[in-house]
Chain A
């Protein structure tokens, strides 16, 4: 079953690569370029390595945060 984008909508989501620095800003984050996961690459709802931004987004929207940790190729 493909993972539904609709399913992610109720969450503020953060993706943390295992080898990326936590403080990098999403806009210039090489993690996004390194990922070969097309589902993540073409989605603009992921926040990369920035928990503070995810918390701010969660406070703003009232959503819980979905944090994932994954190996990066």
Chain B
């Protein structure tokens, strides 16, 4: 992302593949690319990319008459233009040099820098972390092979109450023409996590109508355990806890359906990992409880739980099995 104009190219920077369609004058036609805990391509397909491109060509043909409806697709300008100007970007001197394998600025580092800056400014807020929520948060399941067609509406959801139906085609959200699920997410991303009403323009047969979808406070909450930016978010843990496989559980004398994680790595350059060593955590320890609860299944889930429930300066209670004995530990968490 070195040198990329972050005012123009605002998208979900945790994606491992993303696309934006723009006019030569900088007008944004749309975004493509959606990732989730279900996998990097759970919402992507060649079919929906092709449809998104065909929709872009229609928008392009109508440009600049449609300029006002596209205005909201560009985000607000930030106080910085490039990654190296971001106040929360770490290791700027190293990153500033000629690009090579060791000093690349990965997409997710944009969100890393946003998170760190917010944390250091005392403005770390969960609402910042519910980035790019899915239409599913409103009860709308979009067909991933289409990008606009509603495959299903969740019962008792905000979308059902608004009158949307499976088979409807979402033409616009908040007045912005849709080319893909990512466009829908863009609108949702820029709404607050409070009670909101969002206008979904939908086509049913030959009829197009507006539906007011009213979401309740907290509607943006989304599983973000898949996000690359989760790892650098304070507190950084620096300990690798993969979930044990049934044969490993058996060898350790645990039931094969138990959930346990083994400590396989503690980073030398991570303060929490080093504090954990001093607090008594050892490689090969089997973590069975975390924060007084059964350990979440696997490294990603453990990290997600910690990020949601702890802040730097707090202590993380762990119960581990070592040589058949239960050992209780308290791990100081660092930024």
Contacts and interface: CB of A to CB of B under 8 A. Distances in A.
B23 A11 contact: no
A66 B53 contact: yes
Contact of B9 (A12, A56, A67): A67
Given A69-B11, A69-B18, A20 B56 contact: no
A67 B105 contact: no
B98 A18 contact: no
Contacts of A72: 104
A59 interface: yes
B56 A22 contact: no
A72 B103 CA distance: 13
B325 interface: no
Nearest to B99: A21
Contact of B57 (A2, A3, A10): A10
Contact of A67 (B15, B20, B46, B103): B20
B248 interface: no
Given A67-B9, A69-B11, A22 B107 contact: no
A23 to B, nearest CB: 6
A71 interface: yes
Given A3-B46, A7-B50, A66-B53, A22 B4 contact: yes
Nearest to A64: B60
Given A19-B101, A65-B24, A51 B53 contact: no
Interface footprint category on A: 20 to 34
A39 B8 CA distance: 27
B334 to A, nearest CB: 28
Interface footprint category on B: 35 or more
A69 B23 contact: no
A22 B49 CA distance: 25
Contact of B106 (A2, A58, A71): A71
Interface string B301-323: 00000000000000000000000
Interface string B53-90: 10011011000000000000000000000000000000
B19 interface: yes
B47 A1 contact: yes
Contacts of A1: 46-47
A55 B46 contact: no
Interface of A: 1-4, 7, 10-12, 16, 18-24, 49, 51, 55-56, 58-59, 63-72
Interface of B: 1-5, 9, 11, 15-24, 29, 46-47, 49-50, 53, 56-57, 59-60, 98-99, 101, 103-107
A-B complex: 8 closest residue pairs judged by Cβ atoms = A19-B104, A22-B3, A58-B24, A64-B60, A21-B99, A59-B24, A69-B18, A68-B19
30 contacts: A1-B47, A2-B46, A3-B46, A3-B49, A3-B50, A10-B53, A10-B57, A11-B21, A11-B53, A11-B56, A18-B1, A18-B104, A18-B106, A21-B99, A24-B99, A58-B23, A58-B24, A59-B24, A64-B23, A64-B57, A65-B21, A65-B24, A68-B17, A68-B18, A69-B11, A69-B15, A69-B17, A69-B19, A70-B16, A71-B17
Given A11-B21, A66-B56, 8 more contacts: A3-B50, A11-B53, A11-B56, A18-B1, A58-B23, A66-B19, A68-B18, A69-B9
